[in-house]
Structure 1
Amino acid sequence: MTMEKGSSNNHQQQSFEVSNIATADSKFFDDDGRLKRSGNKWTASAHIITAVIGSGVLSLAWAIAQLGWIAGPSMMLLFAFIIYYTSTLLSVGYRTGDQLNGKRNYTYTQAVRAYLGGYKVKLCGIIQYVNLFGVAIGYTIAASISMMAIKRSNCFHSSGGKNPCHMNGNLYMISFGIVQILFSQIPNFDQLWWLSSLAAAMSFTYSTIGLGLGVGKVIENKGFKGSLTGITVGTVTQTQKIWRSFQALGNIAFAYSYSLILIEIQDTIKSPPSESKTMNQATLISNIITTFFYMLCGCFGYAAFGDSSPGNLLTGFGFYNPFWLLDIANAAIVIHLVGAFQVFCQPIYSAVEKTAAKRFPDNDFINKEIEIPIPGIVSPLKINLFRLVWRSFFVIVTTIISMLLPFFNDVVGLIGAFAFWPLTVYFPVEIYIVQKRIPKWSTKWICLHILSVACLMISLAAGIGSVAGIVTDLGVYKPFHAMY
């Protein structure tokens, strides 16, 4: 994935300081001395679409099944509008002061520091990194589910449908973790471009297959399934209906959110016109395209399966023909999540390693690169012991937690709920108020805070629903013994 949700263009932080050259020749350099940016509304739109369309799309049919034909699509449209609007608020935070000539803020945290400062900077950082950590867990679970789906599909067909093919998911999570330990030794985000690009292609592959299979299932059923109010009480209890409806909001929020990387995408845009103006156009274009695609996937998935829509759309088609197409889709998910995991975790890796190097500048364990010559390759392999130990430990911890909580929908809903209000609404609203100097208690000030409080309520409801789902699942689950 070129820029998956929560990614960080660390290479931009390492650009050469060439402000003296920029003064002499502004044809090649921008006002901050960095190489001239060339992005426009179309490239920015592409970044957003690539970042947003990921594994979250697989849970949308389930989310609509909890809410029904009326509330489900309505909530998807509402989230699309909120995220579009708050993105336009956040875009003004790219520059401090004047939108054409003000000082640039290269990351979300820098924008928060420039406009809000104080404890809010640390709060933003904590929320960012906890969210990235949660996504790593969610992706480990999702990857294992897809690997098992491939194995079970082949088992089912080889036995002629006689073997239920139950299996333990832990082996697949461990396998995914081993692969991530290897890829985590790639030093920084710059060197992941090939893995990121491959992941982007895979996300569109499995999303399109899911949509196509949903359409085919509707045609096979000769009609749409589902109801106006979603899954009925009786199929689930009244309490479960409420919790699941709340959890569905978190799943939708997870599928749409990209605020975490908006400022970094904006930092690729050329000016004039102002970056915020171009970014707002890109946000509108990408939101329309993403919402249209999501509505198709979510609605056709619900129409195909009705109230029994699965938490992961691609696992709901069972092991029926064309099983080879489902195998391709699930393989695409695994490949995508291998890259997406790295894109989300590199900012965490970088933050810890830079902090350690700054605190212990003379420590060889932390700072020394060991070069290992490889026959036939010009450049030797460079290994840093601290990077090897710390990143391996991080992957092991995420893998263990995934094995303890292998509940895809619950985890995705919790991540979406946790990040939605602070990162998508609260900080953008506060930055906009400071940047535009909106008077306290003015009509616009009050309206913005009403929006913020309303979205806080949505986040809390989604979080409570997801936690309730996890607690319910844990009641019948034996740790490390999950069978599928």
Structure 2
Amino acid sequence: MQRNLSFAIESGDTTSKFDDDGRAKRTGTVTTASAHIITAVVGSGILSLAWAIAQLGWIAGVVALVIFSLITLFTSALLANCYRFPDPITGTRNYNYIEAVKNNLGGLKYKLCGVAQYTNLVGLTIGYTITSAISMAAIKRSQCFHNNGHAAGCHTSNNSYMIIFGMIQIILSQIPNFQDLAGLSYLAAIMSFSYAFIGIGLSTAHIAEGKTGKTSIDGITAGVDVTSSQKVWNSLQAIGNIALAYSYSNVLIEIQDTLKSSPPENLVMKKATTIAVSITSIFYLLCGVLGYLAFGNNAPGNFLTGFGFYEPFWLIDIANICIVVHLVGAYQVFCQPIYQLVEGWMSSRWSGSDFIVIEHPIYIPFIGIYKMNFFRLIWRTVYVIITSVIAMIFPVFNSVLGLIGAISFWPLTVYFPVEMYISQAHIPKFSPTWIWLNILNWACLIITFAAAAACIQGIIVELHHYQPFKSFS
């Protein structure tokens, strides 16, 4: 049974309601796709780029930012061509990443893709729960310092803020699908630019006051700032952070599935990717370079905290509010593919079940008709509760998330897009194009292993202080 999900006011228009596949007509544009991409790409990881450049130095740090932006642009263009199969313009639609891999590569590869993609998505939703709680706790701490003085302890548990974040996500998770997330993505994208601008502004003011830190061509100095082994681990982690900062392939096909069919979706998606990644790269460079210039080799993991929780405390509070609002939207961008995978499977398996299939129209003032589904209500609520509880039990999950991201970076961002392109374009083995594509493949695989090793080392260090349900800021 085909379901027509809508979160908009029903206008009664009966013309052109469906696309060529019988689904509700898609309305996405370059603008909405760009907003989704920016929401997915510009995470709170932007705040760690100053630290990453400090580990690598001016040359390697800036070069790494540029190279990974170009790799993302290239592989995203290859992946955009895989939305339809076998022809990128007239072929049959693939509704998600694993369908694209299944139709282009088949065999065991699409199952491996599914494991990598959905493990990464689940990990991101847990990680965003933890990160948002830390930002909410930071707002309370800055108020505490302002009211009670800088000597006050002002430590607070993050668990209550994880519960608040989870309650918000339970409500927002009832938005049926990606098609209806455009407004939330616009807001989230604006918020991501807002806290980036605040960080850039504070860094610029720091530099203007002559408070620049010590910088160098090769970053932190082994034997002076850190030990030789720490220099190696930190450099590997920095490269991994930069590579993962551009990664959004795990939701690219799902975003592309929201686009109008004319002009062709692959052309629109490539344009949206170019716009979004270009804008993102500019902000990454500004935050990374200005943050490193402001703090030098002592750049903190979150360069906003480098300005202290003190003055201007209200500006830091605004930045943290923007981070929380952005993560609220980003959570939805990354969990929607999970929701739709489960709901699609359940609908096909039990298509005759009213509990799973039937949509119940409910009038919501100022919004219109919302079609409620009981299975969607219960399943999505349970998912948010489970991810919130995991976040509270395992507060060092951000390091685990880094490991999951590192492991999934190569297959999702590079390997599968390249392999599907080779298959789709019938590139002959050992031809010049085949050779350099495989060089790219192997180079990114090495980067993945290096970043994963650094994350494992970080997890081992953090586990020495691990206490379940004991997450404090």
* Smaller-chain TM-score bracket: 0.7 to 0.9
Q: Which stretch of the first structure deviates more once superposed, 203-212 or 358-367?
A: 358-367
Q: Which stretch of the first structure deviates more once superposed, 414-423 or 325-334?
A: 414-423
Residues of 2 paired with 1:163 and 1:255: CA distance?
35
The answer on whether the counterparts of 2:211 and 2:294 sit within 8 Å (CA) in structure 1 is: no
Residues of 1 paired with 2:341 and 2:405: CA distance?
23
Identity %: 57
Answer yes or no: is 1:120 the counterpart of 2:109: yes
Answer yes or no: is 1:85 the counterpart of 2:74: yes
Answer yes or no: is 1:59 the counterpart of 2:19: no
Aligned to 1:399: 388
Answer yes or no: is 1:429 the counterpart of 2:418: yes
Structure 1 position 466, deviation (Å): 1.1
Q: 2:222 is matched by which residue type in structure 1?
A: V
Tell me, which stretches of 5 or more residues in structure 2 are unaligned?
Answer: 6-14
Aligned to 1:445: 434
Q: Which stretch of the first structure deviates more once superposed, 34-43 or 256-265?
A: 34-43
Q: 1:462 is matched by which residue type in structure 2?
A: A
Residues of 2 paired with 1:269 and 1:363: CA distance?
30
Aligned to 2:332: 342
Other structure's SS at 2:310 match: coil
Q: CA RMSD in A?
A: 3.4
Aligned to 1:148: 137
The TM-score with structure 2 as length reference comes to 0.85
Answer yes or no: is 1:258 the counterpart of 2:245: no
The answer on whether the counterparts of 1:60 and 1:252 sit within 8 Å (CA) in structure 2 is: yes
Q: 1:374 to 1:94 in 2, by over 3 A?
A: closer
Other structure's SS at 2:301 match: coil
Residues of 2 paired with 1:456 and 1:314: CA distance?
32
Q: 1:356 to 1:429 in 2, by over 3 A?
A: same
**For 1:4-39, what per-residue CA distance to the aligned partner results, in whole angstroms no more than 9, with x for missing partners?**
xxxxxxxxx9669xxxxxxxxx99987667788777
The TM-score with structure 1 as length reference comes to 0.84
Residues of 1 paired with 2:81 and 2:118: CA distance?
23
Structure 1 position 365, deviation (Å): 5.8
Structure 1 position 281, deviation (Å): 4.4
Map 1:357-436 → 2, pairs under 5 A: 357-361=347-351, 366=356, 382=372, 384=374, 386-407=375-396, 410-411=399-400, 413-436=402-425
Map 1:89-104 → 2, pairs under 5 A: 89-104=78-93
Number of residue pairs the alignment of both structures matches:
462
Q: 1:294 to 1:438 in 2, by over 3 A?
A: same
Other structure's SS at 2:307 match: coil
Q: 2:49 is matched by which residue type in structure 1?
A: L
Tell me, which stretches of 5 or more residues in structure 1 are unaligned?
Answer: 1-12, 17-25
Answer yes or no: is 1:129 the counterpart of 2:129: no
Residues of 2 paired with 1:370 and 1:282: CA distance?
35
Aligned to 2:287: 297
Aligned to 2:202: 213
Structure 1 position 88, deviation (Å): 2.5
The answer on whether the counterparts of 2:35 and 2:182 sit within 8 Å (CA) in structure 1 is: no
The answer on whether the counterparts of 2:359 and 2:372 sit within 8 Å (CA) in structure 1 is: yes
Q: 1:475 to 1:188 in 2, by over 3 A?
A: same
Aligned to 2:322: 332
Q: Which stretch of the first structure deviates more once superposed, 307-316 or 57-66?
A: 307-316
Q: 1:424 is matched by which residue type in structure 2?
A: T
Residues of 2 paired with 1:92 and 1:381: CA distance?
33
Other structure's SS at 2:82 match: helix
Which of the numbers 290, 293, 309 marks the counterpart of 1:319?
A: 309
Q: 1:390 to 1:213 in 2, by over 3 A?
A: same
Residues of 1 paired with 2:360 and 2:19: CA distance?
37
The answer on whether the counterparts of 2:35 and 2:186 sit within 8 Å (CA) in structure 1 is: no
Structure 1 position 200, deviation (Å): 2.5
